[in-house]
Amino acid sequence: MLRVENVKVPFDGTYVLNECDFEVGEGEIVVLLGSSGCGKSTLLRTVAGLENPESGKIWWGTQEMTEVPPHKRGFGLMFQNHALFPHRNVGENIDFGLQILRMTGIERQERVDELLSMVDLDGFQNRKIGSLSGGEAQRVALARSLAPKPRLLMLDEPMASLDRALRDRLLADISELLRELKQAAIYVTHDHDEAFFIADRIAVMHNGKIEQIGTPSEVWSNPSSEESARSMGHENFIELDDSGRCEIGQLGSSSGIVLIREDGLSIVPEETGIKGEVISAVFRSGITLVKIRVGKIELSTSIQGSMKVSEIVNLKISDSAVVALS
């Protein structure tokens, strides 16, 4: 449905977006994942029509959208700061898009009621914007963006201003709602857990480019670059010498950087593994995050049970968890 082709957006002599290419299918949720400043918000704004690309095209099906102004694209955007209209109450905020569509009064009222119950805010119609909590404001913003039934909904770091507990609950709610509505969506975040939770596919962004795109398990198991791996939370990067060796052993055939995914790192009882020293152990909800030093290399993983600092352990690395990075 949505197709972004070779989009370039200049800024201050460089490109915030450099040849971005991706697609969003019908009812699909694509997450743009990347650290701050990687261009993901700009990409969103370009799709919305708030930024103009220097070159490249944006398509909706067979219709070219590149030159279409934002209010005629039929796309919705939910801002990080929610951007609720302060001079309108909750109901009037949700009603805004419907008013523009010139629906009749009765239809509009029905739609507002429907949306309020969709986001669990029944009875909030006449509340003032200033009286809402962060979570409530966020749900009003969601309802407002969904009201005119956008062809594509874009969410720009919607959880950024919320605290942890609230974030997990709202994320589940949003995810469920979008799937129920079969809503095509682009969701921007820097948090990989959020991305894995909500995405059908993840597009990993770095330096104005899309590094790779795939399902959460694809991109997690096979990151294409170090940046891509880092933005998904991987930590164990090892530099190999010309013959593909390092202090742990032979991990490749030539020089370069490899990733050892933590799912391939295990601690074994027998003396067969590689010896390492525990340099930190942090308990977190049922598992222990440990850092183990082998020579100069530090490896992180999580284990069941507890472990003490400066304990000597035996490590086993499964070959399938070693990923060569570009």
Partner 1 sequence: MNPQKRFVWAFLFFLPVLFVGVFFYWPLLKIFSHTLDGERINEFWSYLSSKPFRQIAWFTIWQAFLSTVCTMMLALPAAYLVARFSFPGKKLFQALTTIPFVLPTVVAAGAFMALFQRFGLDQGMFRLHHTVWALLLAHIFFNLAIVVRTVGSFWAGLDPRVEEQAKILGAAPWHIFRKITLPRLVPALAAAASVVFVFCLTSFGIVLLLGGPTRATIETEIWRQAVWRGDISVASVLAVIQLGAVMVMVLIMNFLQKRQAVVESKVELNPERASRKLLVGNILLLGILVGLPIVILVERAIGVGDGYSFQNFSAMADRISLVPLSSLAALKNSLLFAVVAAVLAALLGGVASFFVVHGNRWLSNFLDFGMMLPLGVSAVVLGFGMLISLDTPPLDLRSSWILVPIAHALLGIPFVMRTVIPTLRRIDPSLRESASLLGASPSKVTKYIDFPIAFRALGVGAAFAFAISIGEFGATSFLPRSPDRLTAPLVLFRLLGAPGEALRGQAMALAVTLMVITAATVILIEGSVFKRETIRSDF
Indicate the residue among 69 and 305 with the shorter CB distance to partner 1: 69
Q: Contact at 8 Å (CB) between 91 and 112?
A: yes
- Of these, 18, 66, 125, 161, which contacts partner 1 (CB under 8 A)? 161
Query: Measured from the CB of residue 18, what is the shortest distance to partner 1 in angstroms?
Result: 24
CA atoms of 141 and 11, how far apart (whole Å): 29
Question: Which candidate, 302, 191, 318, 314, places its Cα nearest to that of 251?
Answer: 318
Number of residues interacting with partner 1: please give it, by CB under 8 A.
Answer: 35
Q: What is the C-alpha separation between 15 and 7, in angstroms, rounded?
A: 10
Contact window for partner 1 (CB under 8 A) among 10-18, 125-133, 262-270, 285-293 = 125-133
Among 41, 145, 288, 301, binds partner 1 (CB under 8 A): 145
Q: Choose, by CB under 8 A, the member of 36, 63, 67, 86 that binds partner 1.
A: 86
Contact positions with partner 1 (CB under 8 A) in 221-280: none
Which residues does 54 contact at the CB level (< 8 Å), separation at least 6?
8, 9, 10
Q: Which is nearer to partner 1, 7 or 98 (CB)?
A: 98
Determine, following the binding rule CB under 8 A, whether residue 208 of this chain makes contact with partner 1.
no
Q: Which of 10, 85, 193, 243 binds partner 1 (CB under 8 A)?
A: 85
CA angle, residues 262, 30, 228, in degrees to nearest 5: 35
CA distance linking residue 326 with residue 67, whole number of Å:
36
Of 84-92, 183-191, 212-220, 278-286, which segment contacts partner 1 by CB under 8 A?
Answer: 84-92
Question: Is the Cβ–Cβ distance between 182 and 146 less than 8 Å?
Answer: no
Distance CA 110, CA 90 (A): 15
Residue among 35 and 99 whose Cβ is closer to partner 1: 99
Question: By CB under 8 A, is residue 63 in contact with partner 1?
Answer: no
Contacts of 316 (CB under 8 A, 6+ apart): 265, 266, 267, 268, 272, 273, 274
Q: Is 115 in the site for partner 1 (CB under 8 A)?
A: no
**In this chain, which of 2, 29, 31, 77 binds partner 1, going by CB under 8 A?**
77
From the list 35, 37, 50, 55, which residue makes contact with partner 1 (rule: CB under 8 A)?
50
The answer for residues whose C-beta is within 8 angstroms of residue 92's C-beta and 6 or more apart is 85
Summarize as ranges the residues that interact with partner 1 (CB under 8 A). 48, 50, 69-77, 79-87, 96-97, 99-101, 129-130, 132, 134, 137, 144-145, 147-148, 161
